[in-house]
Structure 1
């Protein structure tokens, strides 16, 4: 496959890429999860199934995360805030979990498997084919999986309009997520938002736009949380990264600039708790590292 792809505001040349199954590797936790979810317990059969879905997804949108099997990661369940999110699902009758920029919605499926009510989970991506392939990957149908899969562009105000963060701490009436055609009806209703590997696809201006858009969705009830994992830097600015020989540039916030964006610019200062952590994370089996920032924004 030849050519270039633009993912958000990050540009990269993919060149002549041949899928290499050597990069396919499931951790014990991933293997157990996908075997349980798909009902495919033979390792080679599972690998064949995943490769078939991967090929269809790459044809729909040739993103590096598809080529490098990034869509198989159980990212959210590795966050310290994950148990808190599951607790919100258990204790709030109106709790809604939004998985934004979800690809196949693997984090959403994992949360459902771990007890967050699936009917209260909505996974959204701009690539509609990814959502269709979610059912193929997990061998489900809209009838068998009660979670909602909603395609849409977060920059389209018809899909999600900007709203001032809610100050109403009273629980909102339940809403049928399966009936939604856009995210705007969820203003002030969402208890938890998973935005892992989403913000860093865009430039600084668009990251602020997304933050405002998601803030308008978040419930004012204390403990409501937005979390993510993105490219980070000691000082905010343009960074250059290399993914398996593919070089791209993008914008990265520092912990300080990210905290001030949420606490004081997006939300009224002092009304949220922002936690950030920079870490050097391996991105391949050759020892290449990437500076990433794990973060969460919790309403007080």
Structure 2
């Protein structure tokens, strides 16, 4: 890749200004006590620090401000089960932990939520972004670990629901099958999230300086993968393939619900 091509690709995955809207202003004012006039600089400081650590497109393009968990078709179910029946949630590959904060913001007791990420640096940046490090650490909400480490997985108590946003698509086709198996070890009821998808299943090189390939599933191939990997014990209950607001140039997002058969 030439230097010019590298610059163009970096520009595609990095936007200077945060997409601040009424919801984001209200959320940060209520949750983190950040006044509107200070919000832009606060978001830029944390995002750019995280981007310098790793050029993830979800950081460069402010995807973490979408709070994508609330767009799940069973989000209302999750909130009600957690608040009224003691259900629990794991946010896996949580990065800055925005979906954990969305759950707390919507009334889920903090002791029913856990977040895991490979790199503790991003967990720390989440504390800074949401200004809640003290309470999150007191309740031991976040931990770091590797999904491919069996000892780590065995030590995790499974939750009723597992959320995985912007995670599946960073792996090739065969590794995604392994990820499916591993996520079922952490979940008792349903796995939700989103990944980059396509109308036609496509495996292509990872962007920027990342090595290897990434598999973009279609709804049909995603359903087939889960059925094959779990011998039909887990069923893709719903899939939606569409562009994400403000990210139309980055392709399609596949939002999914995968439920263990017999669990509602």
TM-score (norm 2): 0.84
Note if 1:75 corresponds to 2:68: yes
| Alignment counterpart, residue 156 of structure 2, candidates 185, 198, 206 | 185
- After superposition, give the CA deviation of every residue in 1:172-225 in whole Å (9 maximum; x if it has no partner): xxxxxxxxxxxx331xx3111110111001111111111111111111xxxx21
Is 1:237–2:202 an aligned residue pair? yes
Structure 2 residue 54 is the aligned partner of structure 1 residue 90: no
Does the 8 Å contact 2:234/2:258 carry over to 1?
no
- What's 1:263 paired with? 227
Structure 1 CA distance, aligned partners of 2:167 and 2:121? 18
Maintained 8 Å contact 1:104/1:130: yes
* Cross-structure match for 2:27: 33
Question: Deviation of residue 72 (structure 1)?
Answer: 1.7
| Cα RMSD after superposing both structures | 2.9
Conserved? CA contact 1:99–1:195, under 8 Å: yes
Q: Assess if the C-alpha contact under 8 Å between 1:120 and 1:147 holds in 2.
A: no
1:211 to 167, 180, 183: 180
How big is each residue's C-alpha offset from its partner over 1:228-259, in whole Å with a ceiling of 9 and x where there is no partner? 1112223323147989xx9x962112212211
Which residue of the partner structure matches residue 23 of structure 1?
17
**Larger % of helix: which?**
2
The 8 Å contact of residues 262 and 274 in structure 1, kept in 2 or not, is answered as no
- State the match for 2:239 in structure 1: 276
Residue 195 (1) aligns with residue 167 (2): no
Kept in 2, the 8 Å contact 1:195–1:226? The answer is: yes
Instruction: Kindly indicate whether the alpha-carbon contact (under 8 Å) linking 2:68 and 2:99 is maintained by their aligned counterparts in 1.
Output: yes
**TM-score after normalising by structure 1:** 0.75
Give CA deviations for 1:99-151 in whole Å, capped at 9, x if unaligned: 11111110111111101111111111111111011111111223466361111
Aligned residues: 254
Q: Distance in 1 between matches of 2:42 and 2:84?
A: 36
Distance 1:147 1:15, change over 3 A: farther
- Does the aligned pair in 2 maintain the 1:101–1:198 contact within 8 Å? yes
Structure 2: gaps spanning 5 or more residues:
none
Q: In the alignment, is residue 160 of structure 1 matched against residue 153 of structure 2?
A: yes
8 Å contact 1:276–1:295 — kept in the other structure?
A: yes
